Structure 1
Amino acid sequence: MASDQSKNGSEEDDDYMNMTFEEKEPSKKAETLMQRKKRLAREAEVKGRPKSKAELAEEERKKREAALNSTTLDTKSKGFKMMAALGYKPGSALGVSRSGASEAKDDRLLEPLGLEMKDSRSGIGADAEKKRKFREEMEAQADGEKKQKVEAGDFRERQQKEREEKKMEGQVWGAMKVCERLEEEEEEAERYPDNDTDPAKRKSTKPLKGINVLWRGLVKQRAINDRDRRMRYDLQQSLVRRPEYDDPDEDKEDKMALGKKTETEEVDIDLDEDDEELDEFAALEVPEKLSRLVAYLRERWHYCFWCKFRYPDKEMEGCPGLTEEEHD
């Protein structure tokens, strides 16, 4: 029996498959005084190191976001206890309803007003002042753009009006020339019925005020231009010619200008004399001048300025009308 027990005991001792090994705890060496001093110094250095602006801003941002994201009231806060004493219950509101709110819908605030952080360093009311200035600048800019558009439109209208007036002025001078030509043709037909006189001798010597005021300005302007031309010619010739020089090839007008012709044709025209009737006609608007000339041509000679044709009778059959638009 003893041998059997010893044999079984040896077998149990040699059963390595069922053996368990307990891990020994790492040996903790005692911290020396020098190591402890170094550790405390490092921890103090970390705690005493001031945080940078970026780190402080990041912490404030996280705290702000956490506060804004939390929509429930802290039941442990003093404010919640005061509201509860007034009858507040979570999910309800305090105070009376707003004016104009319906009974079925409660429009009172269920949560406190949100927190709005002020990033700038400006004082209270500065944002409202900035908004007001910005609004005024935008209004001024809109008014300026509107004014530019109006001025551009006025400029185009003024340019169009100036072009039309310039065109009408040319038509006025053209109508004057037609009146003068028809008048001269009628006078020549009455004065020279046989048409046997030299046309160069048929020049009219009618005084300026004896000419119809409708084309008197044309005659006067032509006479002024002719006088100025002769004065310039006389001045140029006086600088290069001797007074006793006589040129046989000199024409009649040159001799008249130089005062060499013994018998000069004198026209009874005083260009410097005042003419109130001509001044009144010149003061009229261009469309009014043209209207009077066109009406006179139709009434006096049955001539249509727009058709460029003289009709045989006053009915003027075939003429579209009195204005240029009717002839388009």
Structure 2
Amino acid sequence: MPALDNHGGDPTPARETLTQRKKRLAREAEIRGRPKSKAQLAAEEKEKREAALANSHIDTQSKGFKMMAALGYKAGNALGAAPRPGGGPDERLLEPIGLATKEGRGGIGADSEKKRKIREAMAEREDELKRRKMYAAMKVSPEDDDNLEQRRSKKKKKTSSRPLGSINVLWRGLVKERAVRERDARMRHDVQTAALSFSLQKPGYDPEEDEDDIVALARKTNKDRDKANAVVEEVALDLDEEDAELDEFQALPVADRLDKLVDYLRQRWHYCFWCKYRYPDDALEGCPGTMEEEHD
């Protein structure tokens, strides 16, 4: 039983015997004599370095500090001119720039280059997400600018029957892309059909066929082919015309174009692209705001 303290009654540890003391000293000596591993040495070195860097870098006993103190500097003050009232936060440093320990094998600037690539990749990913949302907003926008419900109707006019200049510039680019794809597909189909038709109707050598008939058939085939090419060129001419208004709009950042589309839907149709809901009036009661972040 451990001995009891006469004053407080708490148990006190028993006195260490000579045998126990010898064992303890031998164990401690063994631990001290045991060589440390590289990981332990590195951990101790890192701990010492972090403890040293955590202290203030301003040594009040150094000659440099004494010279600055003679010029009016006091410990804890920032160097440089203070910002004007209302000119923004004070970003002056109170401590020298800390040391950044480099543990990798990359050269100087390798980490900065890696961070730059990561930032660029994140910016590209964000830009692509905004671009997808922009195209989604374009598809929501009514192409005939008459009624939002008419866009969902199956009896809407074809895009090719309207001049591109009469379409709202906010979604004119999407309409033009669709028209270009349709034109290219139609041209490929016409070329394949014309080539197949021409190969089937191409006159061959027939001793019973009159020479005049052969010439007439060849002229008719060439005339039909020229007529088809003329129609294709006429369609392509409308799509390939310069559109300064569309070029100026597409030169804007994707985020700005998306904001314009969202604002148009709100003002023209009382439709919130982020809520995915059309409100009964321009008050848009219940909508948290115009920004996507406000709808989280």
TM-score normalised according to structure 2 size: 0.49
Larger Rg, first or second structure (1 or 2) = 1
TM-score normalised according to structure 1 size: 0.44
